[in-house]
């Protein structure tokens, strides 16, 4: 549903009501309360986002002239090392500008300037507000720390932009029965009209961000759910560079299922882990792998770089340098030193997140059969 030109505002109200309907269809008092809160929060965020973006048109109209030269997109399946790779590349602060989590809440220049003003005020208040939001982080993101450490001011993917449009598989976090809305998972298959509206809003959002945070820098975006939008991205940004890490599907399927179903024990505690609802995430992973294998052949290999999760984890510095050579980037000495320090520190980290195919009722055969070419091409252990 478009209330204004889609570059300014776009919201898929059909999905919004479907989330509420599916939760109330499987009625419980808990879900009723959650949906009331969901309705209030989304209404609040959409109202303020629209207000901020309209005011941008008044106070910062020149943002539309911002050029997005050669953006870099890290896309893949979730749990493939994209966050780690993204945070390594973010160390090149002279080259890249990138989203932090709070940037995706209200994608507006005015909002970004408001946050900077509040930070300046907070610096004179002994960082009282910062400590308050650090306390909020510990509560809100507690369940994610061993899966995907998050924070308002940590570099993060921009899926929140699509999620607030109600055009993201991430809506499944709030709706275990989202399989009935699975057409949003592979956005490349949407109608031309809908894709044009989505990308108009998205490109406009990136222009606002670049205008506020680095018109002379390259936008670096990480998004694990944009595999289903790869064609849309390349059509909208023909000069884009794509980095695509791949991981063994046997590891990805249960890991993503665990990560994206994290709120479900609270939302729908009676749903079993080996249920069709949980297995929807595995279906999405298989869909994403197939889409990647089919579509990537269309694009210039000079603008595309693929690597495996093992290569990234075993030799992170060398892999980043290889990416720079592939795309013709020059690594500054300062960046190289930061990279060495960070990769050395990361070797001491071990994830506490454990998962298995059997936990969610998968067999190796049902993963391997549709993805045989992925296993063979990238030499994953079958």
The stretches of the chain forming alpha helices (DSSP H) are 13-25, 29-59, 82-89, 109-123, 128-140, 159-164, 192-213, 230-236, 249-260, 264-267, 276-295, 309-314, 316-327, 333-346, 364-368, 372-377
308 phi and psi angles, rounded to 5 deg? -100, 160
Superfamily of domain 13-377: P-loop containing nucleotide triphosphate hydrolases (3.40.50.300)
CA pair distance 171, 320, nearest whole angstrom: 32
pLDDT of residue 2: 38
Q: Give the position of tokens 């898929």.
A: 12
Domain ranges of the chain: 13-377
* Token representation of residue 259: 């990560």
CA pair distance 271, 228, nearest whole angstrom: 27
Q: Give the position of tokens 């220049």.
A: 109
CA pair distance 241, 364, nearest whole angstrom: 33
Q: Give the position of tokens 């994206």.
A: 260
80 contacts 224 by C-beta, under 8 angstroms: yes
List the beta bridge partners of residue 96. Answer: 218
Helix axes 109-123, 128-140, angle to 10 degrees: 120
What is the per-residue burial (b if ≥16 Cβ within 10 Å, else e) of 139-164?
eebeeeeebbeebbeebbbbbbbbbb
pLDDT of residue 1: 38
CA distances from 164 to 42, 148, 160, 198, 359 (A): 8, 20, 6, 12, 31
- Would you write out the chain's pLDDT as a tens digit for each of its 382 residues? 334 578 899 999 999 999 999 999 999 999 999 999 999 999 999 999 999 999 999 999 999 999 998 999 999 988 889 989 999 999 999 999 998 878 888 889 999 998 888 888 877 778 787 777 667 666 665 555 555 555 556 667 889 899 998 999 999 999 999 887 777 789 999 999 999 999 999 999 999 999 998 888 999 999 989 999 999 999 999 999 999 999 999 999 998 898 889 899 999 999 999 899 999 999 999 999 999 999 988 888 999 999 999 999 999 999 999 999 999 999 999 999 999 999 887 665 555 566 788 889 889 999 999 999 999 999 998 7
317 phi and psi angles, rounded to 5 deg? -65, -45
Cβ-in-10-Å burial (0-12, 13-18, 19+) of 125 comes to exposed
pLDDT of residue 354: 65
Q: To 10 degrees, the CA torsion angle through 169, 171, 175, 181?
A: -50
pLDDT of residue 3: 44
Q: To 10 degrees, the CA torsion angle through 34, 77, 221, 197?
A: -70
């Amino acid at each position: 549903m478009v209330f204004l030109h889609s570059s300014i505002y776009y919201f898929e109200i059909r999905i919004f009501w479907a989330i509420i309907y599916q939760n109330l269809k499987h009625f419980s008092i808990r879900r009723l309360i959650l949906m009331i809160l969901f309705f209030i929060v989304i209404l609040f965020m959409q109202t303020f986002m629209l207000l901020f973006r309209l005011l941008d048109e008044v106070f910062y109209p020149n943002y539309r002239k911002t050029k997005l030269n050669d953006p870099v997109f890290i896309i893949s399946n979730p749990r493939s090392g994209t966050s780690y790779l993204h945070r390594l590349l973010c160390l090149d602060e002279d080259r890249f500008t990138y989203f932090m989590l709070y940037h995706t809440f209200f994608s507006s220049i005015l909002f970004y300037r408001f946050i900077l003003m509040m930070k300046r005020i907070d610096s004179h208040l002994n960082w009282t507000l910062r400590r308050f939001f650090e306390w909020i982080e510990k509560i809100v993101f507690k369940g994610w720390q061993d899966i995907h450490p998050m924070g308002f001011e940590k570099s993060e993917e921009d899926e929140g932009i699509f999620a607030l449009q109600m055009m993201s598989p991430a809506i499944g976090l709030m709706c275990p029965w989202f399989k009935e809305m699975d057409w949003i998972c592979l956005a490349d298959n949407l109608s031309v009209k809908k894709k044009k509206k989505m990308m108009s809003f998205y490109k406009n959002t990136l222009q606002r961000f670049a205008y506020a945070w680095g018109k002379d820098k390259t936008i670096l975006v990480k998004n694990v759910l944009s595999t289903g939008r790869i064609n849309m991205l390349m059509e909208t940004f023909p000069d884009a560079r794509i980095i695509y890490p791949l991981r063994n599907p046997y590891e990805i399927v249960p890991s993503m299922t665990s990560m994206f179903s994290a709120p479900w024990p609270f939302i729908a505690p009676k749903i079993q882990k080996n249920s069709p609802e949980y297995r929807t995430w595995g279906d999405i992973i298989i869909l994403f792998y197939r889409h990647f294998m089919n579509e990537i052949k269309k694009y210039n290999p000079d603008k595309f770089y693929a690597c495996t999760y093992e290569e990234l984890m075993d030799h992170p510095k060398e892999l980043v340098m290889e990416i720079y050579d592939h795309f013709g980037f020059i690594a500054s000495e300062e960046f190289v030193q930061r990279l060495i320090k960070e990769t050395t520190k990361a070797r001491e980290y071990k994830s506490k997140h454990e998962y298995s195919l059997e936990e969610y009722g998968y067999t190796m055969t049902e993963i391997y059969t549709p993805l045989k070419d992925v296993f063979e091409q990238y030499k994953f252990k079958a």
